[in-house]
Chains A and B, each alone.
Chain A
Amino acid sequence: MSAPDRTRGHRTTTMTDTTPTDAPQSPARSSPSGGDYLAALKQYEPSRRIRIFEAIAPDEAAPRPGEVASSIAARLGDAPVISAACERLGHRPRVALSLFSLSRSDRLTASELAPALRALGAEPASALVPLLELGLLVAHDHAGRPLPDLGSVAAEASASLALILHPSLREATPNTLPVAAAPPPSGSAGLVREADGLEPILRLAALWQRVRAAPIRQTQQGTLFKRDRERLAEDPALVGPIADALEPLPDMAGLWLELARVIGLIEAEPGSDRIVATDAEFWSEHAVHLPHMLGLAWLGLRAWDEQAGRPDDESSGELPSPLLRPVALLWLAARGETEWTALDDLAANLERLSPGWVHRPDPGPDPSDPPRRSTRGRAKPPRSGAATSRLAATLLGPAYQLGLVRVAEESPGRRRLVQLTPLGRYVLGVGRPPAPRETFETFLVVQPNFEVLAYRQGLQPWLVGLLSRFLDWEQLGAAAELRLSAESVYRGLEGGLTPEQMAARLERHSGRPLPPAVADALTTWSGRRERLAFHTSATLIEFLRPEDLEAALADWPDGDGKPVPSRVSGRILLVPEGAAIPYHRFRVAGSRDYRQPSEPCVEVEPDGVTLGLDLGRTDLLIDAEIGRLADPVAARSRSIRAGESPRRWYRVSRGSLTRALGEGMTPQQLERWFEGRTGAPPPPAVRLLLHAMESPTGPAFRIDRPVVLHAPSPELLDGLFQHPDGRGLLGERLGPRSVVVPAGSVDALRRVLLAIGLTLGSEDDDAT
Chain B
Amino acid sequence: MSRANASRIPVKLHRRVSLIQAADAVLAEELLARKGLARLVVGRLSETVLLVRPGEEDAVLEELRRMGQTPRVER
Interface residues of A (CB under 8 A from B): 486-487, 490, 493-494, 525, 528-544, 548, 551-552, 568-569, 572, 574, 576-577, 584-595, 619-621, 623-625, 627, 664
Compute how far the CA of A118 lies from the CA of B40 in the bound complex, rounded to whole angstroms.
Answer: 63
Whether A532 lies near B9 (C-beta < 8 A) is: no
Minimum distance in angstroms from B22 CB to a CB of chain A: 6
Whether B21 lies near A536 (C-beta < 8 A) is: no
Minimum distance in angstroms from A705 CB to a CB of chain B: 52
Collect the chain B residues with CB atoms within 8 Å of residue A535's CB: 17-21, 74
Minimum distance in angstroms from A545 CB to a CB of chain B: 9
Interface residues of B (CB under 8 A from A): 5, 8-24, 27, 39, 42-43, 45-46, 49, 51, 54-55, 57, 60-61, 64, 68-75
Collect the chain B residues with CB atoms within 8 Å of residue A621's CB: 42-43, 51, 54
Question: Which 3 A-B pairs give the minimum distances between C-beta atoms?
Answer: A624-B43, A587-B8, A569-B46
Whether B75 lies near A537 (C-beta < 8 A) is: yes
Given contacts A529-B72, A591-B12, contact A536 B18 (CB under 8 A): yes
Given contacts A531-B23, A533-B21, contact A544 B74 (CB under 8 A): no
Whether B64 lies near A532 (C-beta < 8 A) is: yes
Extra pairs beyond A544-B11, A593-B15, A623-B43 (16, CB < 8 Å): A530-B72, A532-B20, A532-B71, A533-B72, A534-B19, A535-B17, A537-B17, A538-B19, A539-B15, A540-B19, A552-B9, A568-B21, A569-B49, A587-B5, A624-B42, A664-B39
Collect the chain A residues with CB atoms within 8 Å of residue B55's CB: 595
Closest residue on chain A to residue B70 by CB atoms: A490
Collect the chain B residues with CB atoms within 8 Å of residue A591's CB: 12-15
Which of B12, B23, B71 is close to A589, meaning CB atoms less than 8 Å apart?
Answer: B12
Minimum distance in angstroms from A374 CB to a CB of chain B: 36
Compute how far the CA of A625 lies from the CA of B55 in the bound complex, rounded to whole angstroms.
Answer: 16
Whether A493 lies near B46 (C-beta < 8 A) is: no
Minimum distance in angstroms from B6 CB to a CB of chain A: 8
Whether A538 lies near B9 (C-beta < 8 A) is: no
Whether A590 lies near B12 (C-beta < 8 A) is: yes
Whether B9 lies near A586 (C-beta < 8 A) is: yes
Whether A537 lies near B11 (C-beta < 8 A) is: no
Whether A533 lies near B71 (C-beta < 8 A) is: yes
Compute how far the CA of A574 lies from the CA of B12 in the bound complex, rounded to whole angstroms.
Answer: 12
Given contacts A542-B11, A585-B9, A624-B51, contact A594 B18 (CB under 8 A): yes
Given contacts A569-B45, A594-B54, contact A531 B17 (CB under 8 A): no
Closest residue on chain A to residue B42 by CB atoms: A624
Given contacts A530-B72, A532-B22, A535-B18, contact A588 B42 (CB under 8 A): no
Compute how far the CA of A525 lies from the CA of B69 in the bound complex, rounded to whole angstroms.
Answer: 10
Compute how far the CA of A572 lies from the CA of B70 in the bound complex, rounded to whole angstroms.
Answer: 25
Given contacts A534-B60, A586-B9, contact A568 B46 (CB under 8 A): yes
Which of A532, A584, A587, A625 is close to B70, meaning CB atoms less than 8 Å apart?
Answer: A532
Whether A595 lies near B54 (C-beta < 8 A) is: yes
Compute how far the CA of A295 lies from the CA of B54 in the bound complex, rounded to whole angstroms.
Answer: 43
Which of B18, B19, B70 is close to A529, meaning CB atoms less than 8 Å apart?
Answer: B70
Whether A532 lies near B13 (C-beta < 8 A) is: no
Given contacts A541-B11, A542-B14, A595-B16, contact A536 B74 (CB under 8 A): yes
Whether B64 lies near A543 (C-beta < 8 A) is: no
Closest residue on chain B to residue A591 by CB atoms: B13
Collect the chain A residues with CB atoms within 8 Å of residue B72's CB: 493-494, 529-530, 532-534
Interface centre among B11, B13, B20, B54 (most CB of A within 10 A): B11
Whether A534 lies near B64 (C-beta < 8 A) is: yes
Collect the chain B residues with CB atoms within 8 Å of residue A568's CB: 19, 21, 45-46, 49
Whether B21 lies near A548 (C-beta < 8 A) is: no
Collect the chain A residues with CB atoms within 8 Å of residue B17's CB: 535, 537-540, 594, 620
Minimum distance in angstroms from A564 CB to a CB of chain B: 14
Compute how far the CA of A531 lies from the CA of B21 in the bound complex, rounded to whole angstroms.
Answer: 8
Compute how far the CA of A529 lies from the CA of B27 in the bound complex, rounded to whole angstroms.
Answer: 13
Interface centre among A493, A532, A586 (most CB of B within 10 A): A532
Collect the chain B residues with CB atoms within 8 Å of residue A623's CB: 43
Compute how far the CA of A665 lies from the CA of B33 in the bound complex, rounded to whole angstroms.
Answer: 19
Given contacts A531-B23, A572-B45, contact A592 B15 (CB under 8 A): yes
Interface centre among A535, A591, A623 (most CB of B within 10 A): A535
Whether A620 lies near B18 (C-beta < 8 A) is: no
Q: Can you report 20 A-B residue pairs in the complex whose CB atoms are below 8 A from each other? A: A493-B72, A528-B69, A531-B22, A532-B70, A533-B20, A533-B74, A534-B72, A537-B74, A539-B16, A541-B12, A541-B13, A542-B13, A543-B10, A548-B9, A568-B46, A568-B49, A572-B45, A586-B10, A590-B13, A621-B51
Interface centre among B14, B42, B71 (most CB of A within 10 A): B14
Closest residue on chain B to residue A552 by CB atoms: B9
Compute how far the CA of A621 lies from the CA of B11 in the bound complex, rounded to whole angstroms.
Answer: 17
Whether A586 lies near B11 (C-beta < 8 A) is: yes
Collect the chain A residues with CB atoms within 8 Å of residue B5's CB: 587
Collect the chain B residues with CB atoms within 8 Å of residue A627's CB: 43
Closest residue on chain B to residue A538 by CB atoms: B17
Whether B74 lies near A620 (C-beta < 8 A) is: no
Closest residue on chain A to residue B6 by CB atoms: A587
Minimum distance in angstroms from A597 CB to a CB of chain B: 9
Compute how far the CA of A587 lies from the CA of B68 in the bound complex, rounded to whole angstroms.
Answer: 42
Whether B15 lies near A586 (C-beta < 8 A) is: no
Minimum distance in angstroms from A131 CB to a CB of chain B: 48
Compute how far the CA of A528 lies from the CA of B42 in the bound complex, rounded to whole angstroms.
Answer: 25
Whether B73 lies near A594 (C-beta < 8 A) is: no
Compute how far the CA of A548 lies from the CA of B11 in the bound complex, rounded to whole angstroms.
Answer: 9
